[in-house]
């Protein structure tokens, strides 16, 4: 039997196609309930201030990079969104005088347009954001070699994937988008083999770094957060790290300050992961089977899921 049609984009899968009971169970969670969703392999961490959240996120960079040696290179895969941690990382590297000569960094995604990844002249370039907010702020004597910075590109996807076998990824960070993705692992279009049901979790987990079509929810979110609502300026495709690379990371940490998803969305994915409910209409839910996942929240952003007119 075919599942529900999306309330948001008929031609796509997304969280609105889930069973209504999952929505109801997630929506009624209190903040205390969310704290109690932790289980072996899944840890929920609440931060009382934004400063403590972003500092903890920045320290993951430092702790990963300090492990790297010439014979055992170590890196972190990081997002654009959130970005508030990036200047803190640079400040910590400079003040603690940490050499990044043997450390590595993976950018988890980049926009794709006109048959190639966008370059740093594009106003939404992730590579430029990382450079301006992080790498250019590190003193020259401590900087990471350019060869140790890895981004998915149209011509290097195999090499990008292979690098996760050659370099130990201590942690993959991410945010959570409105469509419940990490990186640009969006739900699929409702077409071809996926008219009646989205791909299975096992099938989705086999996906490696690739070019993706972006869900309309993702386009609207990026227009809202980064483009003043100018959605026609947001590319409709992107390059992204895949589940295959994600499962090579020792830990996945997701950082939610309330700027990208809402009170309901932040509950839904934690609930599904905690209960082992995997459904590719909610890509984040597949992290239920990763051996070490942490969700970090700014406590006051969780609020309540309630109807209130303004």
Contact 263, 31 (CB under 8 A): no
For residue 309, pLDDT beyond 90: no
From the CB of residue 265, how many other CB atoms can be counted at a distance below 10 Å?
21
Tens digits of residue pLDDT in 52-98: 999 999 999 999 999 999 999 999 999 998 999 999 999 999 999 99
CATH number of the 15-302 domain: 3.40.50.1360
* Cα 135 from Cα 132, distance rounded (Å): 7
Task: Say if strands 293-298 and 109-113 run parallel, antiparallel, or are unpaired.
Answer: unpaired
Handedness of CA 38, 185, 16, 13 (dihedral sign): negative
Tens digits of residue pLDDT in 163-209: 999 999 999 999 999 999 999 999 999 999 999 999 999 999 999 99
* Helix (H/G/I), strand (E/B), else coil: 267: helix
Contact 74, 62 (CB under 8 A): no
Tens digits of residue pLDDT in 243-283: 999 999 999 999 999 988 999 999 999 999 999 999 999 99
Annotated domain spans of the chain? 15-302
From the CB of residue 126, how many other CB atoms can be counted at a distance below 10 Å?
24
């Amino acid at each position: 039997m075919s599942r529900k049609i999306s309330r948001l984009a008929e031609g796509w899968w997304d969280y609105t196609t889930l069973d209504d009971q999952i929505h109801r169970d997630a929506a009624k969670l209190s903040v205390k309930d969310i704290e109690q969703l932790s289980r072996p392999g899944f840890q929920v961490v609440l931060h009382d201030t934004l400063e403590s959240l972003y500092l903890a996120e920045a320290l993951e960079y430092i702790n990963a990079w300090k492990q790297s040696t010439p014979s055992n290179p170590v890196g972190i895969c990081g997002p654009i969104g959130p970005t508030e941690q990036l200047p803190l990382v640079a400040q910590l590297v400079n003040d603690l005088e940490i050499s990044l000569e043997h450390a590595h960094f993976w950018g988890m995604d980049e926009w794709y347009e006109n048959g190639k990844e966008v370059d740093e002249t594009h106003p939404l370039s992730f590579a430029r954001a990382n450079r301006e907010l992080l790498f250019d702020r590190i003193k020259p004597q401590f900087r990471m070699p350019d060869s140790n910075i890895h981004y998915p590109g149209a011509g290097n996807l195999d090499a990008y994937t292979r690098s996760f076998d050659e370099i130990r990824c201590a942690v993959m960070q991410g945010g959570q988008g409105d469509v419940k993705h990490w990186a640009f692992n969006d739900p699929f279009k409702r077409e071809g083999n996926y008219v009646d049901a989205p791909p299975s979790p096992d099938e989705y987990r086999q996906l490696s770094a690739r070019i993706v079509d972006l869900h309309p929810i993702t386009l609207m979110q990026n227009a809202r957060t980064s483009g003043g609502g100018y959605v026609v300026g947001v590319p409709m495709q992107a390059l992204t790290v895949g589940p295959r690379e994600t499962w090579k990371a020792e830990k996945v940490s997701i950082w939610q300050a309330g700027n990208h998803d809402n009170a309901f969305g932040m509950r839904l994915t934690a609930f599904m992961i905690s209960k082992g409910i995997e459904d590719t209409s909610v890509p984040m839910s597949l992290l239920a089977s990763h051996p070490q996942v942490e969700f970090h929240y700014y406590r006051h952003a969780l609020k309540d899921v309630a109807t209130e007119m303004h």
